[in-house]
Structures are given as structure tokens and as C-alpha cells.
Amino acid sequence: MKMRLPAVPLITVDPYFSVWSRDEINRCGTAHWTASPNTLLGTVDIDGEIFSFLGCGAEPIKQVSLDIDAMSTYAVFENEKIRLTAVFTSPLLITDLYYVSRPVSYLKLSYESLDGIEHKVTAKVAVTEELVLNKAGEGRAYSEDVPLSNGTAVRIGSGAQQVLSRSGDDVRIDWGYCYLAVNSEGVTRNEVVDSLYAVSAQAEIKDSLLFAFAYDDISSLIYFGEPVNAYWKKDGMTITAAIEEAFDDYDEITRRCREFSESMYAEAKRKGGEKYAELLTLAYRQVMAAHKLAADGDGNNIFISKECFSNGCAATVDVTYPSAPLFLRYNTELLKGMLRPIIKYCRSGMWKYDFAPHDVGQYPILNGQVYASNYDGQMPVEECGNMLILAAAITKADGSTEFADSFSDLLEMWSGYLVKYGLDPDYQLCTDDFAGHMAHNCNLSLKAIMGMAGYADILRRGGESEKAGILSAKAAEYARSFITRASNGDGSFRLAYDRPDTFSLKYNAVWDKLWKTGLFPDSFFEGETARYRKEALPYGVPLDSREKYTKSDWTVWAACFADKPEDFEFFTGLLWNAYNTMRSRVPMTDWYYADTSEMVSFRNRTVQGGLFIKLLFD
């Protein structure tokens, strides 16, 4: 990885079980993605001398290299005696639902002598109360040893155990238990680390030593009034059995993770260049770990996103939409799991509108939309278009209408809404809601057109050729109207129909390019690409002509308009430069200033799944 990482993933399991660092992982404290401290400490005792390799502890052993792949972080440390290698792996293997869910993350340690002398090296890892409390001092934590058949373990948890007692955005879990284990006859104890209550595990490194960090959240979500468990528990698995299993399958699962990472990187490099491949490598763990995979009371898989550092909304439709490409490429079952809560909500009788909702709650409590309480705060065209496009994309990826058929009545209603209101949307929000309401939004009209075209394809595949033809004709009519009314006269197209000489990233049109529906002429994509190159700033192309900020997901979608590889690599190169130089050392932000690379807001969001869209192209 040539990029200087904006933040280093260490433990990435779900929105709560999350630990990150900076590029020198033993010279700064570790933190949750929110930047609230999540203190871990790792030290090695080399012949009686103690050095820190993780977090702020003893004298640091010099870090000489740091690299990542999709699921692992590799750090190497040296002094005059040894070279120590630390490998952090969260095996979020997207093709295997069990490993997406199993809440166990690894740290493997090994060393080699550099001075030709045999050394005794003992490693110690400590986990503090910050991983089990919203903030240190909010309540009291306690610990106890845990028997394992193939190692030594201890757990730490809050004494209160008010499971699923709060929701929010900049909050952390304060229920359940964090487990620290080592695959050896080690020593566990409780102690004080930087005035924090902590537990530790210690053992000698021989050939290697494997630590595991695990979290049992007891219940994961409130889902329409009922607590539901994580997917990994569905067949009766316990957390101690999961840790034992994780020790046993380390070699096999890490081999699978490496093979996936190498394959993903190779495909991304072939389709988009080396910098594009690095962007996907950085994004992968973040996207996967900003979700929670659970099973509802009927045994259906639900994959719940959290709107991280936005408002904490759960299962947000216009977050699922940009996130979708990763899951369309590798596992549509997870994308279906993101849509099922919306479908259930619309069928519950609680949702009264004839358009799709924005969300179904605030993570981890999903009891209905929290984003807006009145009509003015809704996103009617946005969310209808999103649901139709996503249903069509799943249908195309699966080669089957089975999933779409399960909510065909809703798709029909939402398609009708777009036919009625999508030609020229009124004063309302789109997914870029931070920019405020706007009437006559050209990009929103593009979304409506592509939603109609997508649903027409579902109808055609389902044998309803006549209805499909009528809807396809209507989408083509709206597309022709767009080309006429949105034109700037220079080959590019407006931000809004009534705003001449403006521009915006027309990311919603990417589906026409991808699906080869031919609704828009080649000149549309060529003109937009030329305009984006003209408007480009050092770290990206502004989202539109109103501000200098941009969005990472939409940047890559718009870059896919380009037929020439050098144009695509130009735009993704700007994005790479932004992360490489960004002063905000947090998990990838998706909203930043294109002239300075300064973060506006948002971090650790699932929308970075949108960066994977180039992989969907032939």
C-alpha cells in the first residue's frame, strides 16, 4: 500500500466493536471509529526489557513498516535484538455469512532474531473498560476468567448490563462482554492501564502466538419491538465455542481472506489502476464493519447499516443505495438483508405514504423511521428511485426476479409515484440532504428515470412485456426531455432545470452506462466527463457548482462515465490524493473539500461500498 492511511484498522467487526489507530500504532492511543478512546495495549518482554508495539505504553519498539490488505493489517517492528511482526485480521469474508457475523478478530505475533542470539520473548495484551462502556467511568466494569479447551481467556463487561438500552450516533456499546483470549497456557489478570480498569493476557511467543478479541453483545438489535440475535448465534453457537473455533480455523480462514483480497485487488487494478485498487482495499473492512448481520424472528437475514457520524439512522435507503456495488459484486444476499427491513416496515401499517421511507430507526433500535416526522422532511423521489434501482440491480445480478417478486406490489406503487412526479421533481431533498432542499433537481430526475427503467426490466423478465414496454417508453420520454431541458449548451448538463450554466455530478446516470439501456446518448457521458475534468480541483471534483465539497462515492460513479482508462484514473487519482494527504486521521470520510482535502463531516460510513462500482463493469 503506497497510500498513507488516514486511519489504520485493527479490530473491525461491527459498528460497536471497532478499534483503529494511526500509522504508527505504538505511538498513539487506539480509538473507536468515533475517535472516542478504545484503549488497547500490547507489549513484548525481550529478555527482561519491555517494549510497546500497540498503543501508548512502555518505550515503543520502532515500527519499520505498515501495510494492509482487505482484511488484515501488517505491522513490523525492530530493535537490535528482534524483528516482531504483528498481523491484525478481521475475517469479514463477504462470500460467507457466518464469517461476516462471527465477532472474533485476531492478532498474530511472531518474531525472528536479528543478532543471532536466542531470546525469550513474552507478549502481553490488555483490553480496557473503554471497550465495554460508552465512556470510561460511566458505570463500573468487572472481569472473570473464561475456560477454553485450546487456550486461556478472560472477559470484561459492564456491571449494569442494560442490553439495547440506548440508540444514537456518537455512542458506544455499554452492554455485553469483550473477550480476550490467547491460544496458549497464558496468564490472565485484571489491572490498571492509564487509570482505566483493564484485563490482560500474557504468554511466551515461541513459533508464533495468536490472540483473539471477541464480543458477545447478548442481543444485537431491537427489530420492530423484539430483540434479535446476531446471525452467528442462529444455530446455537456460544461465544466461547466461537473463540475455540476461531483458534482452530485461523490458518484456513486467513488463507481464504488472503485469496479474496488478492483477487479483489487484481480485478480492481485491471479495471481501474493501482490507486483505485488501494482505495478499495482501504474501504473494504470499513464498509463491512459498519453493518450488523442478524436473523429476524422468521429466520430471515437482515443486514443493518448504521449512518456513522451522520445521525445514527439504521437501514437507511439512501445509504444502502451507494453502498450496494460491493454487495452486487460479491453477495446479493447481504444487499437483500439491507432491504428487508424497509419492506417489512412498509407492510407493517406504520408507514402511511405511497413512497418509500428513508430509514427504519436509529441504530440499534429499529422500530420505524426517525429521520423526519412530517412530509417536508421526506425524500419521496429519492427513496422510490433507490428501491427500484436496487431491486433491478439484484434481479440482474441474480438472473432471477424471485426477490423482486416478494414485494412487487410496493415496486408497482413506487414506480407509479416516479411516473407521476419524476419528470421534474418538486421542492424536496435528495440523498445529498446536507445541501438542502431543491426543486427541479436534474440528478433526482435521472434517478427517477433509471428507477422506471429498472422496474421495466423486472417486469420484462417476469413475463409482463406489455407493462414493461409502456414503462420503458415513459422512461425514454423522460430521458429525451432531460437532454433538452437540462442542457447547458456546451455538452454538459445543469444542476437544476431552472439553473443555467451550473453543473453537478450526475452519478445516478451510471446505471444507464452499466445496464446498457441506451436512454442517454454517448454525447451525454462525454460532455459530463469533459465538464468534470474542467471543474476538477486538486483533490476531487466538487459535488456541484454551489460548493467546493465533494463525495467519494459519487466521484467514482461519475468517473465510470469515462470510456478512456486515463480519465477514470484521473478522477480516482484525485480521490487517492485526498486520503493520502488528509489531516483528519479517521476512518475514510466520504464528504470533504475538493480544494483542500479537509473533512467536512461523516466517517466510517458504509457508502464507501460505492467505490466498488467499477467492478460491476465488464
If you search the block for the grid coordinates 480519465, which residue do you land on? 567
364 cis-preceded (ω within 30 degrees of 0) = yes
- Are 316 and 194 members of one domain? no
- Are 311 and 173 members of one domain? no
- Are 53 and 127 members of one domain? yes
In Å, how far are 18, 436, 501, 509 from 542, measured between CA atoms?
A: 31, 16, 15, 17
Q: How far apart are CA 607 and CA 551, in angstroms?
A: 10
- Are 165 and 309 members of one domain? no
- 608 found inside a domain: no
Can you list the positions of beta strands (E) in 205-300? 209-216, 221-223, 226-228, 291-295
Range of the domain at 363: 275-517
Positive or negative: CA dihedral 50, 55, 61, 67: positive
In Å, how far are 29, 118, 193, 360 from 53, measured between CA atoms?
A: 11, 20, 15, 42
- 431 found inside a domain: yes
| Cell numbers found for residue 121 | 520473548
In Å, how far are 76, 201, 246, 257 from 251, measured between CA atoms?
A: 20, 22, 9, 10
Q: Which CATH number is 39's domain given?
A: 2.70.98.40
Contact 605, 267 (CB under 8 A): no
Contact 607, 320 (CB under 8 A): no
- 406 found inside a domain: yes
Q: What pLDDT was estimated at residue 373? A: 81
Q: What is the pTM of this model?
A: 0.98
How many other CB atoms are there within 10 angstroms of residue 483's CB atom? Answer: 15
- Are 380 and 504 members of one domain? yes
- Are 361 and 506 members of one domain? yes
Q: How far apart are CA 505 and CA 503, in angstroms?
A: 7
Contact 242, 250 (CB under 8 A): no
Q: What pLDDT was estimated at residue 459? A: 98
- 458 found inside a domain: yes
Last residue of some domain: 200, 218, 236? 218
If you search the block for the grid coordinates 483477487, which residue do you land on? 263
- 257 found inside a domain: no
Question: pLDDT means per 10 residues in the chain (618 residues)?
Answer: 97 98 93 97 98 95 98 98 98 98 98 97 98 96 98 97 96 98 97 95 97 98 98 97 98 98 98 98 98 96 97 97 98 98 97 97 98 91 98 98 98 98 97 96 98 98 98 98 98 98 98 98 98 98 98 98 98 98 96 98 97 98
Q: What pLDDT was estimated at residue 116? A: 96
- Are 122 and 56 members of one domain? yes
- 269 found inside a domain: no
b/e per residue, 17-47, with b = 16+ CB within 10 A? bbbbbbeebbeebbbbbbbebbbbbbbbbbe
- 575 found inside a domain: no
**Number of structural domains the chain divides into:** 2
Q: Which CATH number is 346's domain given?
A: 1.50.10.10
- Are 198 and 279 members of one domain? no
Q: How far apart are CA 94 and CA 262, in angstroms?
A: 14
Q: How far apart are CA 359 and CA 48, in angstroms?
A: 55
The candidate with the shortest Cα–Cα distance to 454, out of 397, 390, 379, 536, is: 390
Last residue of some domain: 469, 492, 517? 517
- Are 290 and 185 members of one domain? no
Q: What pLDDT was estimated at residue 210? A: 98
Q: How far apart are CA 32 and CA 516, in angstroms?
A: 42
Q: How far apart are CA 312 and CA 233, in angstroms?
A: 25
The candidate with the shortest Cα–Cα distance to 427, out of 416, 417, 440, 443, is: 440
The candidate with the shortest Cα–Cα distance to 528, out of 493, 555, 556, is: 493
The full DSSP string for 382-419 is: HHHHHHHHHHHHHHHHHT--HHHHTTHHHHHHHHHHHH
Last residue of some domain: 517, 546, 565? 517
Phi/psi for 90 (5° steps) reads: -110, 105
The candidate with the shortest Cα–Cα distance to 226, out of 371, 367, 15, is: 367
- Are 296 and 177 members of one domain? no
Q: How far apart are CA 11 and CA 235, in angstroms?
A: 25
Helices (H), 497-551: 510-515, 522-535
Q: How far apart are CA 611 and CA 618, in angstroms?
A: 16
- Are 180 and 280 members of one domain? no
Q: How far apart are CA 538 and CA 594, in angstroms?
A: 6
* Residue 571 Cα to chain centre, angstroms: 21
Contact 200, 180 (CB under 8 A): yes
Phi/psi for 291 (5° steps) reads: -125, 165
Number of H helices, E strands in the chain: 15, 23
- 156 found inside a domain: yes
3-state secondary structure of 50: strand
- Are 348 and 458 members of one domain? yes
